[in-house]
Amino acid sequence: MNMHRDENQQHAASAEALRLDELQRDLLSSLIQSFVAAAPQSAAREAYVALEDAVAKMEVAAELVPAMGAIVEVALSTGRIRNMFGPAAELALAALFRKTPRGEAIAGSLHELNRALAKLKDQPLGEISAALRKPGVYTLSIASGEYRIVVRFDHDGAAVESVETSGG
């Protein structure tokens, strides 16, 4: 049973514009200006300018949310936001990221993972091992009671790769 979620899966909430607070607006404006400056005379520049305008109005249209989410993800994963603006800024953008399609997909994947792991509660641990599938992709196999769960860790986060039951 493969439970790995597709990151392109859209949720109903993703079809709506995202409203920003003032801190998110200010942080995003700074980040987007860096992207605009790095893309002079390119097709990407127009998209960044449109996003910059939307952010200034504190409402990002649904079609711009994935691009905004990508910028936020890069800023959060590199630690740049925390280093430059502190933990409150990091928390503000992390909350915003969770509202993006990718953030929602990761949250859904983690929900599925926690549901699968709950089956192991109060079960004796039989076996646990980690493995490298390929660079950047790892698995954690846990056998407990009648269940064997394989968790996959990759760029998209952690997700249940498979759940097997012994039938007994």
pLDDT grade for 11, boundaries at 50, 70 and 90: very low
Give the per-residue pLDDT at 43: 76
Q: Measured between alpha carbons, how far is 135 from 99 in angstroms, rounded to an integer?
A: 29
> Which among 126, 121, 116 is positioned nearest to 152, based on CA atoms?
116
Q: What is the pLDDT of residues 124-152, one digit of tens each?
A: 999 999 999 999 999 999 999 899 999 99
HEC secondary structure over 103-145 = HHHHHHHHHHHHHHHHCCCCCCEEEEEEEEEECCEEEEEEEEC
Cα 144 to Cα 3, 107, 153, 160, 166, distances in angstroms: 19, 25, 20, 15, 10
pLDDT grade for 8, boundaries at 50, 70 and 90: very low
Q: Measured between alpha carbons, how far is 166 from 168 in angstroms, rounded to an integer?
A: 5
Q: What is the pLDDT of residues 61-81, one digit of tens each?
A: 999 999 999 999 999 999 889
